[in-house]
Structure 1
Amino acid sequence: MSGANDPAAWALANRFRFQPPEGDELVPRRRVQRALRARRDGRVVVLTAGPGFGKTTALAIAAAEGRLDPDGEDVWLACVPADQEASSLLAGLAVAMGGEGAATVDDVLALVARRSPRRVGLLLDDVHVIPRASGGAEALSDLIERLPPHAGVAMAGRAEPPVALARLASQGRVVTVDESQLTLTPDELRDLGLEGAESSGGWPALVALARRAGRLSDYVWEEVVSALGPRDRDRLATLVALGRAEGWLLDELSGPEEDLALDQLPLVHRRGPELEAHSLWEERVDALDTPAGVDRRRVAALDALIGHGRPGAAVDVALRGVDGDHLDRALRAALTAFETPPAPALHAWREALAGRPASPAIALARGLAARDDDPASLVAIERFEAAADGFQAADDPVGETVARAQIIACAYSRGEPALALPQLPRLVELAPRDERASAIALLGQAAVTVTLGDPEGAREVLARVPADDLPTELRNVADYFDFAVATQLGHDACDVADRLSRLPRELPGATESFASSRIRAGRLDELRPLLDEEPPDGIGTRATHQWAVWRLAAAVLLGRPDVARRRWATAEATLPEAGNARFYAEIAQIALAAGDGSRQQVRAELDRVLEQHPM
């Protein structure tokens, strides 16, 4: 770097790189400043948010407060694109601490060590300009890992910092601050004496403007929009209409970027591959497009997403406001692919669809959400029956096939084959028009025979299922019934259970299949890795209960009462109200009572329950 060996000259040329901003317009947020104090305790504080959220301000206030502490010292460095090179970043840190311009990680650590016993905080702004896997990122990772106990770091940027923090986070040494914490609360706005400033959404950049102007002016938005070129303005209009979108979709609908990356605009943030526009932009969408234009953009996005195999994202766009036909089209595409959307999406859609007339697609969506609550739900069956009848009336064999398959699944979960039997002849009728219907009819017949306790009959039916031509999800269902058949016949079902446990999204029953197969085969040691796991996020109450009771049983059989007590607390708190509650409750009660008998007795009781409940 030019001038790097002349610290005085380099510091003069880069004076704003080494000192925080000052002024009377800094907007404090007490909770953020409290979090930043952790830098003096040898921890790493990470501030991540889009432009205008006051990250630099928060670091500057921390530096100002730090100057009042006689036992501590802060070092300020505003990162620049050149810091992707380790030499630039390390030279900057060295100069900030009064050292030579050229430096290594060891040199910087030596400068930090000299300040002991004073506590040192490294305040690094704009770390998002340092790319991951760059020399600068590697040097920063090395430095953070090797900092002595009296030193810590606070980093601010528009994206997650380009350093590995997993190990430190596991030790409780990482503090994160995001947009929700950087946004000013209504109480903080009132404390600042800003009447009506709630329209700022608590965005610090607009709050700072309000403190200067005494009001919030729409001209801010007009100034931003008027400065954009035609294509960038069109891309922004598309993003605001959709709320969030990936770059490829914006390119397809509005063309590539012209002069400006949208995430450089106020209240536009990058979250992984997606850009997201703050809701404040939508309130001013009239500065970008007409209502009819917004609708056209949403419909075009819906078509593109369905065409690219992203129907779930198309539903999210449709729910922002398109007419019912387009919404039904998106829902049908998302729900008839035999790849059930994740549970959080189903429940979000059900909530968003509340109050809408029940078209066949909406009835199917509501049924799937109800089935996720309880696989044996009569409410779900009613929704699926309404969907099947509606799709049949609309001459939609694909939609009807999916709805009738869901009725069979609920009937199986209830252990009531009579509810499934009426669907089988209709599926046979649909077979010439939907190639999946004949396979579903066979799987439905297998479900009925398994429920009636006829494993040999079920095995004969499953042998007729055309395995090579099945969609993945139906192949998984066939494996599920293979497991039930093997269990009823008393065969080793571990291999099939392993296939179920490796599914990208677990079928209901896969958890208990793995655990029960090991219990029945006497392969208890294979259950040990399950004991110290924690329940996955977002799997729902019913799935959490299943997860807990089988680990409870395994913990008892493996002599781990500490784990058993924890899993019992989870199982008791999540006991389902319907469906297979009796089955799971029996498992839990047997395990809980293990203290009154030997493990052999517990296993005998578990075998008895599994014999009675072949699911």
Structure 2
Amino acid sequence: MTSPTALPRPLDVEVTRLRLVRRLARRWEHPVTLVVAGAGFGKTTALVQAVRAHLLEPRGVDAWVSCAPVHESAEHLAGALLDALSIKDSKRTLRAVLDTLICAAPLETCLLLDDVHEIPTGSPGADLLAGLVRDLPATAHLVLCGRELPDLPLARREAAGEVITIGPDELSFTDVEVRALGRRLDRDPAPAGALRGWPALVRLAFAAGPAAPWRYAREEILNRLPEPQRHALAALAALDTATDAEVAAVTGTPVALDDLARRIPLVGRLDDGRYRAHDLWTEALCRTTPPGELRHLHRRAAGLLASRGDLPRAGALACRDQDWPLLATLSVDLVNTTMSALPQGIAERWLAHVPPAIRDQPAFLLLHAAVLHATDFTDPRIDPLLDRAWADLKHTAVLGQAVITAHSRADLPRLVELASRADEPNGAPTPIALVLRHSVAATVAEVRGDPESALAEIVRAPTVDVPAQIALATVRFHYHCLNMCGRAGEAADLADRALGDADEHHLRLNGPIARWFDGDPSDLCRLRGVPPGGTARDSFVATAFLTVIASCCGDIAPSSGLPCGDPADHDNPRDAVLACVATAVMAVCAGEETIACQTFSDHLTRWPVTDRFHERHLRRFLAVGYVLNADLRAAWDRAELGPSHDKARTAARALVQARKGDLIPGSRLPFEHALCFLPLSWSVELAARLAGTGDLALGRWLADTLGPVVHQHFRRTGGTGAATLLTALPSPPITRTGIAVLGPMKVTRDGVAVDVPELRRVRVRQLLGLLVLRPLLTREQAVNILWPDLAPADAARNLRVTLTHLRRLLEPDRARGDASYHLRTERDTIRLVRSTWLDVDLWAADLLDTRVPAARTSGDLDQAKDLLTATIALWRGNPLPDLAGLADPDLHVDTDRLRAHHVGHLLTLGELALVSGETTRPAHLADRALSLDPYTPRAHRLTLAAAIRTRDPIRICATREQVLAILARLGAPPDPATELLLRRTLPPTVGREQRGSAVSS
């Protein structure tokens, strides 16, 4: 909840305006409230009074944001909103704001944005506000206060009566309020009453005397000020808010703002110790201060604002004074400090103010190029503009923008040409100069076929205190160099740290892809079937890597075509390698290895292996080239390789040696390396050759890891070894089995429930329940849980009998003696294998649950609700009831966890239904949650909020009594959020003191 110290303090003498406070209290009854009037109408004062009144009897959470020019940026505005909502370390996006509001449910939240006129129409900040208006949750409210509003999609809400508008007529002082203010100031209210209730001017009239009209009053006050205080007032007005020291830095003389605030109306001290002058003084100072004197003050103020990071306000001063040299300096600072997130609207407005005669100055050429880049980085005008700016300016901002544009286009020749410029720093090298110098030098080294030198350069490039896009480009190039050097494991760790939380999905895949090419398939589920993303360049590169991974998993359809195009169509070896490898693995998967060999032969005729740059790019897919081409094999057998490339060479050698009859390398090869480095037809071939000698381990592991596609390859491979594997390894069942454990155990075959003798055996149900809960058990664990009192031999015999019945229950059509597909018993372990032929409701619920956060993150609340509805529908009662009689305490913990998880699903769905404006379903879901766990505060809040939404006094009263009775049984007071909702359930006739005692009792 917003505290009084978090609110701005009004600058005039406050008169309590109960009519406005009551009017603004209605913001809790409508989604949107608009407070729109010119300067000096007391908008902020009225809003602060309303928020303070709400603190006495809160209905929800108020979150206050005072808008400034910087909030034209959507990122800054989202950050300010999240800060007001006390959310830290979140992505600063509209989605994050909406999700925070949704997560606050069932409590209501009100966002109050003051000075919203600082956010111009068409700006990213205005777009964020528009999204907020469109998608505002039903439990959230929005108050927009300012001199004017950006264009927002309010028509639908206005037509539905969901918008309150408060304008100048309601904000003006009434005669009663003018007289009240006069009494507080001990002044005659007559002259102030002639100003039509304009609050700020009424206050000025009281201060200036009874004979002065409002314009004269301002000038009279200023003319009576000593010059140092007038300069201090001008500096304070330019800075918006400031301390004594900051104003003194602008004026060049000591100041006492406390004394200024006592002498000048509409100047006051804020709660954070800073001072502020009302905007009405800005116009008056412009009229009464000589232009040269004011420009001098504004220049010094702009420097201080720039050091604060408030370039938008500094630029507004320069534009107002037509101070083009100052605006040129600020333009360079704007590009230098924002590059990858240029506030395009601000930059375009600055350019619009610049007279045509001076638009060719280097700083404005730079600003123009940055605007073009923000619109379309492929615009051919950008480079010439930057080259002209560099010729005269030689500033790292120009070089930084040039490198960002070249990186965006993947323009290597341009980057190489920029390298020489990075060697000409102006004075001490800045972080951006260092990162440019090292990243360009690294690019040049990589193009020369020396990724080790490139890596040595790129690790020296700083990634802090530089624009985000340059830092991202540096990290991505570092990642690329590690992979080129055969250090994919390190590349994966770097990607996890720097890119694991990136907004773009294709960047989050960098870690899993690098891990795969290091021989680690632990992220296989994230890589199968994933589409490439990012720019066209990103998509092209990712397509090649994902095609190779798909070939290893058997996921390539025979008619997939050429995923990266014809290798002959590419005019550089880097892209030709990607196309060549993608084409070759497609041929291998189709069983046409001769065509794959010819593809490599044709490619090497055009791009010889002696080309260092080309050869190093070929190493990224070393195993494929090693098997298919003798020249590459010979070259790489002589080469010193990085660890990842060495693993790939070892896997390829194992296959080549196996084809020559030497199976020892293959028998020693880690299974994961066979999967990650060899297309599936090759790894299956190696497994079949090993199986011919009785070694079935690789074939069994591939079948367990990849499923039925491996059996298809066994059949295609043929031969004794493949036949042995097909006989020894279970084939997929012909019926689909369903197991339901979220309630009394139920088994289905092809969707039809079965009632067979095996299912009536308690120990069979218990063992199956254990395996659903813990898919891998040791035999010792099973007998200790199921037969803790029997001798080991008797317990082992019972386990064998129970396993026989369980196999028959799961796969009744499998012939006696054939290995079970779903139930695997190997040495000391028992395993229930997941497959497309086995449906388990608990596993399905877990899978649905993992998709809910992604749906909420993407803003698709309907999908999130559908997923939760599907998850809840699987629940038929207490989970795994057959395990209740077993003595293992961990089992009870697991079942309690499942029950708590279900309660969480009910409450989450109820809260999402509440924020979507539903009234009936939240109450029903809250009741279901309370029937399972009557003591959870979250359920109390939802049931109270749902009752309040019904506006049914009987329902509200019953719900309040129910919650209070539960709290009484617990002997615990309600938590603050529950207490707030309990207060709202009391009738309006109950006084404030009575409300407190009613809730506490």
1:252-291 correspondence to structure 2 within 5 Å? 252-254=249-251, 255-261=255-261, 266=266, 280-286=280-286, 289-291=289-291
Whole-angstrom CA distance in 1 between matches of 2:369 and 2:229 = 42
SS in 1 for 2:110: strand
Q: Over residues 189-237 of structure 1, what are the superposed CA-to-partner deviations in whole Å (9 max), with x where a residue is unaligned? A: 7979x9xxxxxxx995258789999x98314534665787765543321
Aligned-pair identity in percent equals 17
Whole-angstrom CA distance in 2 between matches of 1:449 and 1:262 = 66
Whole-angstrom CA distance in 2 between matches of 1:238 and 1:488 = 57
Are residues 1:460 and 2:449 paired? Answer: no
SS in 2 for 1:298: helix
SS in 1 for 2:257: coil
Deviation at 1:251, TM superposition (A): 3.7
Structure 2 counterpart of 1:299, one-letter code: R
Change (3 A) 1:227 1:53: farther
Whole-angstrom CA distance in 1 between matches of 2:198 and 2:527 = 52
Match of 1:235 among 228, 232, 235: 232
1:105-504 correspondence to structure 2 within 5 Å? 125=52, 170-171=104-105, 173-179=108-114, 181-182=144-145, 205-206=199-200, 217-222=214-219, 225=222, 233-242=230-239, 248-254=245-251, 255-261=255-261, 266=266, 280-286=280-286, 289-304=289-304, 314-315=314-315, 317-321=317-321, 323-333=323-333, 335=335, 339-340=337-338, 343-345=341-343, 347-354=345-352, 355-356=354-355, 357-391=359-393, 397=394, 399=395, 401-428=396-423, 430=424, 435=429, 440-448=436-444, 456-464=449-457, 467=460, 472-473=465-466, 478-488=474-484, 491-492=488-489, 493-501=491-499
Deviation at 1:380, TM superposition (A): 2.6
Contact 1:501 1:510 (C-alpha < 8 Å) held by counterparts:
no
Change (3 A) 1:268 1:360: farther
Deviation at 1:302, TM superposition (A): 3.5
1:571-582 correspondence to structure 2 within 5 Å? 580-581=535-536
Structure 2 counterpart of 1:175, one-letter code: C
1:554-593 correspondence to structure 2 within 5 Å? 580-581=535-536, 583-584=538-539
SS in 2 for 1:175: strand
Deviation at 1:420, TM superposition (A): 3.1
Deviation at 1:185, TM superposition (A): 7.4
Deviation at 1:296, TM superposition (A): 0.8
Contact 1:360 1:386 (C-alpha < 8 Å) held by counterparts:
yes
Whole-angstrom CA distance in 1 between matches of 2:25 and 2:239 = 35
Whole-angstrom CA distance in 2 between matches of 1:555 and 1:272 = 54
SS in 1 for 2:346: helix
Change (3 A) 1:211 1:36: farther
Whole-angstrom CA distance in 1 between matches of 2:528 and 2:42 = 48
Structure 2 counterpart of 1:516, one-letter code: N
For residue 548 of structure 1, what is the aligned residue in structure 2?
none
TM-score (norm. length: structure 2): 0.34
Q: Over residues 128-159 of structure 1, what are the superposed CA-to-partner deviations in whole Å (9 max), with x where a residue is unaligned? A: xxxxxxxxxxxx6xx86xx7xxx679999999
Contact 2:369 2:385 (C-alpha < 8 Å) held by counterparts:
yes
TM-score (norm. length: structure 1): 0.51
Contact 2:295 2:321 (C-alpha < 8 Å) held by counterparts:
yes
Change (3 A) 1:358 1:519: same
For residue 36 of structure 1, what is the aligned residue in structure 2?
25
Change (3 A) 1:585 1:443: closer
Which of structures 1 and 2 has the bigger CA Rg? Answer: 2
Change (3 A) 1:229 1:470: same
Structure 1 counterpart of 2:387, one-letter code: E
Contact 2:267 2:278 (C-alpha < 8 Å) held by counterparts:
yes
Contact 1:46 1:176 (C-alpha < 8 Å) held by counterparts:
no
Change (3 A) 1:482 1:466: closer
Deviation at 1:295, TM superposition (A): 0.1
Deviation at 1:351, TM superposition (A): 2.7
Are residues 1:518 and 2:516 paired? Answer: no
Whole-angstrom CA distance in 1 between matches of 2:84 and 2:366 = 45
Structure 1 counterpart of 2:407, one-letter code: Y
Q: Over residues 306-360 of structure 1, what are the superposed CA-to-partner deviations in whole Å (9 max), with x where a residue is unaligned? A: 6788878755543443533333334345555xx5456253541233123441311
Structure 2 counterpart of 1:371, one-letter code: H
Deviation at 1:297, TM superposition (A): 0.3
Whole-angstrom CA distance in 1 between matches of 2:349 and 2:86 = 37
For residue 830 of structure 2, what is the aligned residue in structure 1?
none
Deviation at 1:173, TM superposition (A): 0.9
Contact 1:229 1:259 (C-alpha < 8 Å) held by counterparts:
no
Contact 1:427 1:441 (C-alpha < 8 Å) held by counterparts:
yes
Whole-angstrom CA distance in 2 between matches of 1:413 and 1:21 = 56
Contact 1:360 1:388 (C-alpha < 8 Å) held by counterparts:
yes
Change (3 A) 1:307 1:423: same
Whole-angstrom CA distance in 1 between matches of 2:339 and 2:273 = 20
Structure 2 counterpart of 1:345, one-letter code: P
Structure 1 counterpart of 2:507, one-letter code: S
Structure 2 counterpart of 1:321, one-letter code: D
Structure 2 counterpart of 1:218, one-letter code: R
Deviation at 1:363, TM superposition (A): 1.6
Contact 2:386 2:398 (C-alpha < 8 Å) held by counterparts:
yes
Deviation at 1:518, TM superposition (A): 2.6
Structure 2 counterpart of 1:293, one-letter code: E
Whole-angstrom CA distance in 1 between matches of 2:481 and 2:382 = 26
Cα RMSD for the two superposed structures: 6.2
Contact 2:65 2:113 (C-alpha < 8 Å) held by counterparts:
no
1:589-604 correspondence to structure 2 within 5 Å? 600=555
User: Structure 2 unaligned runs (5+)?
Assistant: 1-14, 68-79, 88-99, 117-143, 150-164, 173-195, 547-552, 565-574, 580-616, 618-1001
Whole-angstrom CA distance in 1 between matches of 2:270 and 2:521 = 46
Change (3 A) 1:371 1:286: closer
